[in-house]
Amino acid sequence: MSERLKHLVSPLFIFFLVLLIINDFFLKAAFHNTFTGKLSDFSGLFIFSIFWSVIFPKQKLLVFISTAVLFAFWKSDYSSDIIQFMKPYLHIGRTVDLSDLIALPMLLFAWFYTKGGSKQSIGPTLMTRLSTYFIGAVAIFSFCATSQERHFQYFHQPQYVLLKDPTIQHLNSDDEFEFYNRDSLLVVKINYLSTRRSERNDDYNKNQSIKTLDIDVLHRIGDSASLVTPGKITFLTVNTEEGIDSLRFNGGRLNGKFIRTKAGKPIIEGLYKMGLEDSTWIIRDTIGTQKIIKTFVNGETTKIKSYSNDTLKSSSNINTRSDTIFNTYVQLAVLTICMVGICVLLYRNYRSAILDHFKLKLLWRLLLCFVAPFAVWLFYVGIMLLLMNYNQDIFRTIATIIFIFIIVCPLMFVIVFWIKLRKEIDILLYCLLFAFACSVWATFLTLEALSV
């Protein structure tokens, strides 16, 4: 292997690569704070610059300079037009935050690290070359995954905020916000908000977005207005494409009865309590034959009834976030019990055949070690689908496969070559054990995210 490729299997490169993937797929979802955001920038700059300097060794200086320039451009407003142009073809997104530029010194650190002649972490064998290609593929995946498209919080019931003294009298409406001027007041209809990926797309998550909705909208439109004093009651009527909305505000938040009429008929009726849906909401079609009644408690849907010509067609109870957390604890307990049961079976097999073991040729043992992680992943997906907890996109799926392979493959080498299999069924049992262990870990992370 040429000297330049050794940087891809150096301990520090692998450390920052694993750190980047763990941060993007697990830590950000669990904590989503300034630290996790900056951690991606620091790790990403280090591995990105080294990776491309390995691919183009003669243009190493150009790679590092280009990385710095492109990173600064990417984090600025100037890249917005390019991102909008590429969105129909690529799922990408980023957050404009010039404070991320504090990560640029990592390029200097990466430059001196490569000049220092890093040592590879694996011996100079065929396995090293294969490891290099694998790590390179993982690095490319991490570059793609770190710029995933942002997620959006949509509102099933109409959502408005009220601001005052707009400095710009005619703001242009877009898909996200619609603006309605009323003398010294500005009514903003929010269709959706750009937000982080949530663990559950439920009403609790929606309520978190609503808590500071007026402040968030004010910042998004460039502070071109000011907040309405809490306690000031304002009644307004807004004519939208969906119908005529009668609004009652307490300060800048919807508070009180909401009615939407179309062609003189009420199609939506409900109550708001400081932006959150409360009590009973009635949603009708324009003809008046179909009707849906939703019951809310603290902004969370608890029951939905569907009527046709005043005849009940369906009724369903909806889990609140507290219900979901309780159910997740139950799932975690069941998964743990299953793991303990499999451990007992493996121990029994080990004790019953302690003087003998299941014999496999070397080639089959090696093949088993490399194939078992994929079997574990399939079992893991099956378990999570059974628990209705599997909602991964393509990037998270690939990341999960990589992590399972990195963890399970070495463990299988220990089991096959050191502990040794006692019976054929042990192959299945070990795969199931690791799959349940992965499910326990994923469920625990879900529980942490739900409890925030």
Per-residue pLDDT reduced to its tens digit, 302-329: 999 999 988 998 999 888 889 889 999 9
Q: Which residues pair with 226 in a beta bridge?
A: 164
Is the model's pLDDT at 30 over the cut of 90? Answer: no
The reported pLDDT for the residue numbered 3 is: 57
Q: What is the mean pLDDT of residues 390-407?
A: 80
CA-to-CA distance for 160 and 158, rounded, in angstroms? 7
3-class state of residue 328 by DSSP: helix
User: What count of residues does the chain have?
Assistant: 452
Angle between helices 362-386 and 394-414 (to 10 degrees): 140
The answer to whether 268 and 157 have CB atoms below 8 angstroms apart is: yes
The reported pLDDT for the residue numbered 122 is: 46
> For residue 131, which of 9, 14, 3, 47 has the smallest C-alpha distance?
9
Beta strand pairing call for 276-284 and 290-297: antiparallel
Tokens of 205: 């998550």
CA-to-CA distance for 160 and 254, rounded, in angstroms? 7
The answer to whether 211 and 164 have CB atoms below 8 angstroms apart is: no
For 96-126, the pLDDT digits (tens) are 667 778 888 998 998 888 886 545 544 445 4
Reported as a pLDDT band with limits 50, 70 and 90, residue 292 is: very high
CA-to-CA distance for 422 and 440, rounded, in angstroms? 26
pTM of the model: 0.65
| DSSP code at position 100 | G
For 214-266, the pLDDT digits (tens) are 888 887 776 568 888 899 999 999 999 889 999 999 999 999 999 999 988 89
CA 311 vs. chain centroid, Å, equals 40
The reported pLDDT for the residue numbered 394 is: 72
CA-to-CA distance for 436 and 118, rounded, in angstroms? 38
3-class state of residue 341 by DSSP: helix
